[in-house]
Structures are given as structure tokens and as C-alpha cells.
Amino acid sequence: MLSLAQFGVLSALAAALTSVLSALLLLALTRQLWSLRWSLTRDKESSLPLPKGSMGWPLVGETFHWLFQGSNFHISRRERHGNVFKTHLLGKPVIRVTGAENIRKILLGEHSLVCTQWPQSTRIILGPNTLVNSIGDLHKRKRKILAKVFSRGALESYLPRLQDVVKSEIAKWCSEPGAIDVYSAAKSLTFRIAVRVLLGLQLEEERIVYLAQIFEQLMNNLFSLPIDAPLSGLRKGIKAREILHANMQKIIEEKMARQQSDDEYHDAFDNMLSSAKEHGQELSMQELKETAVELIFAAHSTTASASTSLVLQLLRHPAVVEKARAELEAEGLGYEPQTNRGPSGVTVQKEEEGAADTETTYLLNGGCHNHHSHRDENGFPRSQSHVPYLSLDKLSQLRYVDCVVKEVLRFLPPVSGGYRTALQTFELDGYQIPKGWSVMYSIRDTHETAAVFQSPELFDPDRFGPDHEESRSSRFSYVPFGGGVRSCVGKELAQIILKTLAVEVMETCRWTLATENFPKMQTVPIVHPVNGLHVHFSYRYPL
């Protein structure tokens, strides 16, 4: 017979087991009801089924799977369900779409089949007056105003300042005795380009660092659950936006109060103001603040991601670097010192007026060089770049460098895709896309699976060369900047930044990976190395 104590223990265990089983049953039931809730939203007038896939758990859907699994989330579900599947992310039902023909239908169906629809958290944090959140006539008007900001003449005028920022940042990389985290350094670079080139600001270093930290807080919370509660990602993003807006308002008021002469440098913000005036539009202070932050957003994170991927691929593929350097030399951008050849074939500088044999000393010291004596009046490292100022014409002549940049954007596109909302029910791959559902077209998956790319898993810039040009045969197989009427308005600027960085890095630097292995890449919300990309930089031709 059981004692009272044993009976009590067994009763407690039975009660605990019953509670656990009840909880599991309740979870399973709520998940089934959640899935049924979305199944009932299918368009009854269409005979086509909803795409296959899982809606995950109530409210959160599969958001946490997506955040933690990165690109593996989409790969596993695409393998299980095909190129069109359903899921639930960031508080919304989403249909994920891969493939050139499917993407073509979505991108060319803007304003008829679909309209832009970023996640709710993104819309709230960036604000309703931004280009990414505008639709219809408002979107057309905004693009018309921004056309002047990114016109060829404007881009040509930005280039010298842009190159100065690149030279200055690379000087810091090469003067650092330890390893540089390229992703952090690239974010600093692109933020400075946005502040100096696009907004035309000359700010103290302390101010730039502070604003960059606040902007980083905004970006880290841009894709979060749309729950406005203390300590939530959305609340942190809103707080960062308010701080940025307060700073931008002071800057804008100063800019508008100052009269500019015609021959003075006109930054992107100046061009936007004059373009709005030419089109008879008066922009409110709120619109100006949101546009200022959007200009930083456009030039910052995605370009920093692509810049990091560029350096990563140059590290991985020395043969690509050698071929690109040969092109730079042929185009007159190579280093041309007064040199003699030593018996071993090592280039040494001529000793003029007692100058030290710096190149030989550098090589004998194993590539170590003291750069700390080469500093400007603010104490920052002075650039030792020999690359002359570039022009758009000169950049266009660098065909192989262009191929390298294109392949970086194919191999590791910064953004995984774009969001839309279905304006009407339509068909994709034999499934219905119900009106009101979110649609996310996948750039990365399409690049990885497009039949036009031979061996897509290999990094091969020559696929964009004149003898191949694989992307020509299918326009929507290569879409790093989207397409249609909503293609990235700043794509030319992004490519100019990447090409300028490629030229300056390859001609100015030598580099070695500071870690044993190359980092793994995380793809959410944008592509970046999981624990950073740590690299030792030094000058190829130190002074």
C-alpha cells in the first residue's frame, strides 16, 4: 500500500503532468486556430489555393525563426514549399517570392497589382513623408524632386568630397596598429559621406560620433515587432528618430537662413530644396527632417554592408585584385614613383637629398611602418593615397572594377528583398496572392537560383564582362537595387561610393585577415559579418 506521503507525491506528479499536457494541447490548438484564421482570409472568388507554408505561432508568427536563422530560414522553406510560400513576419502575413518571372510581375505591377509596404515598425520610425513610405502621386512627386539630387551633374559635384572622405577613412585604417573591424569602419565611412557630402555639414568629431551612435540605434530597431512599449525595439527606434530630428531641425534652419552663391558647393539637401522650388512645392519642416534622415538612411547601412562585402571578396580572391590593379595601372591610376630595381626584383625608391630607402625598410620590417608622424592639424592620420581625383568618365572606363562591384552586389546583395502589399488578388506560380497580404520579393534567393548565372555559388566578376554579361538574358535575374518605378533612387551614388572605395583600397592598401577563418555572414536585416570582419591594413607604398 502507498503511504500518504507517496500518494501525495504521485498526485502532485499527475497534476503537473496534466497541467503540462493541457498547456501543450492549448498551444497546439491556438496554433491551429491561428493558421485557420489566415486560411479564411483567402479570396473566395479565386479558385487558386494559398501558397504552402506555415504561419508560425499566434501574434509573433515565424519572426524569431527568421531573425535567428537568417538566410537559412528562407532557403529551408523554399526547398520545402517552392518559390512562392507563405509565412508570418513582424506582425503581418507575408508571401515570400523568388524567381525572375515572379519578381518581374511584382516590380512592374507597382500601383496596379501592388504598392510599397515596408514593415509597420519601419514606416513608423522613418515617418510617413519619406520616399520609401509614399505611394501613388506622392511617390511620383518625390522622385521628381530627388531626380536633381542624383542627376549626373550633381553626382559629379559630390565626387571630390566623397573621395576625400574615403581617403581620410582609409588613412585611419592604415595607421591603426591593430586590426580594423571593417563593418564598423564602413558604417563610419558611409555615415560621414552622408553627413558631409549629402547634407554638406562640417561637424566636430565628437558630434559626428554621437549622431552616428544615435543613427545606429535607429537602424538596429528599424525591423522590430510593432509593439510600442517601454524597452521595446519600436520605442528605442522612435526615441532615436526624435533625437535625430531635433538635431536635423537646427541644421536645416541654419542652412535655409544662409544665402548660397552659385559657385558654392551645393550638397544633396541644397539640390533637393532648389528642385522642390522649381516644381512649385513647399516642403514642411517635418518633411525636411524626415528627408534628411532618409538621405542618411539611403547612403548609410546598405552601402556599408556592400563595402564590407567588397573588402571580404578582395581578401578571398587575390587574383581578382591583381586583375583590377592591372586595369588601374593601364588607366593611369597606378603608383609611379622614381624607382630602381634591386637584384632581387624588389622596387626601391631612389634616395634623393638623403631620403631614407623607405620601401626597402618597410619590407625588411615585415610591413610595419610608423604612420603616427603623418597627421593633419586635427590629429587625424594624413592620407598617403597617390590616387588622383576621379571623375565619372574615369570611373566608367574601369570596366573590370565595375564587374567586381556588380558581382559583389550579386553574390552578397545588402538587402534580401523588398516589401509590397497586394492591391488586388492575383496569381503567381499557380497560387493566389490575396488582396491585402504583404508580398516580399527575394533578391538574394533569386540571384542564387537564377538559371542565367553559371555556377552562381562562385564569385566570378567576369560573368559581367563583355564576353559573358550573363544578366542581359534575363533582366529580373539581377536586381540588387530593385526595379520598375520604385528602383533605388540612389543606386548610381551607391555604385560610385563602391567603385571609389575599390580604387582607393586596392591602390593604397595591403591587407591580411586578422582571424583564423573568414566570418560567417548574417543576412537579417542586412548582410553583415556575424562577429565583424577583422583585417590588418597597411600602406602599399608608405612615405
Binding residues for heme: 488
Q: Please check whether residue 194 is in contact with residue 208, taking contact to mean a CB–CB distance below 8 angstroms.
A: no
Torsion of CA 387, 392, 393, 395, to 10 degrees: 50
Taking only Cα atoms into account, the Rg of the chain, rounded to an integer number of angstroms, comes to 27
Element (H, E) at 506: helix 491-508
Q: Please check whether residue 538 is in contact with residue 508, taking contact to mean a CB–CB distance below 8 angstroms.
A: no
370 burial via Cβ count (<10 Å: 0-12, 13-18, 19+)? exposed
Cell representation of residue 354:
638623403
Query: How big is the CA angle at 489 (ends 321 and 451), to the nearest 5 degrees?
Result: 55
State the Cα–Cα distance between residues 90 and 63, nearest whole angstrom: 6
β-bridge pairing 521-522 and 431-433:
unpaired
Binding site residues, as ranges?
488
State the Cα–Cα distance between residues 155 and 305, nearest whole angstrom: 21
Tell me, letter by letter, the H, E, C secondary structure of 140-205. HHHHHHHHHHCCHHHHHHHHHHHHHHHHHHHHHHHHCCCCEEHHHHHHHHHHHHHHHHHCCCCCCH
E runs forming strands in 226-359: 339-341, 347-349
Residue 337 phi/psi, 5° resolution? Answer: -80, 165
